[in-house]
Structure formats: C-alpha cells, structure tokens
Amino acid sequence: MTAGRKRERPVLTTRVAGKTCVMARDDPSTQELRLEQLRRSDDEREAAQRSDSPSAARAHARRAERADYLSEKLAECEVAEREGNG
C-alpha cells in the first residue's frame, strides 16, 4: 500500500428495484442487519408505550417506523442476493 492511498475493501454489489446495494465483505450479513432492525423496531415500540409524554411516544414510534422501513429494504437486498447467487 502506498502513502496517501486507502486500501480497497472487497465489496458485494447487487441490484434491487433498479438500485444498487453495496456491502463490504467483512460487514455483517444482510440477514443480520435485517434482524437487528426488527429488534430495534420492537424496542422502540415498547419504549413508545412506556413513554411519559406524547412527544417522546411519537419519537419512539417514528424510530420504529424507520427500523421497519430499513428492514423491508434489507429484505429486498436478501432476495436480490439469493437470486444473484442462484
């Protein structure tokens, strides 16, 4: 490696709904990332129910929605990865 030049990381790329999903090989799997988002969604929904104020409940609910959205996108990437490898 030469000075001033970054080491390039091998990546996996796949296309989903006309968009490219890129992930470095040493990153967590798409399935692991999706499961983490599902856990985050559950945690945020529970936090919304326990919230003391309406604004805190809305913030937690919005975070849960965001985690659900990311989980759906990761599921699309999983399908594309399987189709690309099959």
Q: Where do the domains of the chain lie?
A: 28-85
* Residues 5-52 pLDDT 10s: 555 555 666 665 566 666 666 678 888 899 999 999 999 999 999 999
Whole-model pTM: value is 0.66
The pLDDT of residue 55? 97
CA pair distance 25, 28, nearest whole angstrom: 8
The pLDDT of residue 29? 86
3-state secondary structure of 22: strand
* Residues 70-82 pLDDT 10s: 999 999 998 888 8
Alpha carbon separation from 65 to 6, 16, 25, 56, 60 (Å, rounded): 36, 21, 28, 14, 9
